[in-house]
Amino acid sequence: MYQLLSTAAAIFCGIALYAFRRPILAALRRFDARNVARKDQEMRDKRDRLAHFRHTLTLAEDQVEEIQSFATQDERTGLAVTRYLFAGETFAARDDAEAARQEAIVAKAREFYRELPVALAQRGDGRLH
């Protein structure tokens, strides 16, 4: 009886894999494409002196909140307008909100570089390796 159930389960799994093969293969292709792109980026970064700064800015950007847009009425005219919210501050133009967000990203990256010597000193040898 156990062999019959295990054979039925194997057949059912095979049918399910066949039925969902396109989404599974698409996901595997996307995964492979991301890996290839990551490896290409790593090779380019090995030749780029400023890659560390770019990665630091990318990490800082992930830590800073996104800009949110919302519709509201203009205080003067009463017409519907779009406003942008970043870090608790409301901006009338998206460019102003983007500039404030960029300043926050750069400030976070600078904070990392200010803390880096202390972190390296705590490691004992002062080296990155």
pLDDT-derived band of residue 127, with 50, 70 and 90 as boundaries?
low
- Domain hosting residue 24, numbered range: 1-47
- Residues 66, 127 within the same domain: yes
The answer to whether residues 61 and 11 belong to one domain is no
Instruction: Note the pLDDT of residue 128.
Output: 56
Residue 84 shares a structural domain with residue 105: yes
What is the mean predicted confidence (pLDDT) over 5-22?
92
- Per residue, the 3-state secondary structure of 2-61, as one string, reads HHHHHHHHHHHHHHHHHHCHHHHHHHHHHHHHHHHHHHHHHHHHHHCCCHHHHHHHHHHH
Give the model's pLDDT for residue 125: 62
Report helix, strand or coil for 125: coil
For the segment 48-88, what is each residue's pLDDT rounded down to a tens digit? 888 888 889 999 999 999 999 999 888 888 888 999 999 99
User: Same structural domain for residues 56 and 21?
Assistant: no
Looking at the structure of the chain, the number of domains it has is 2
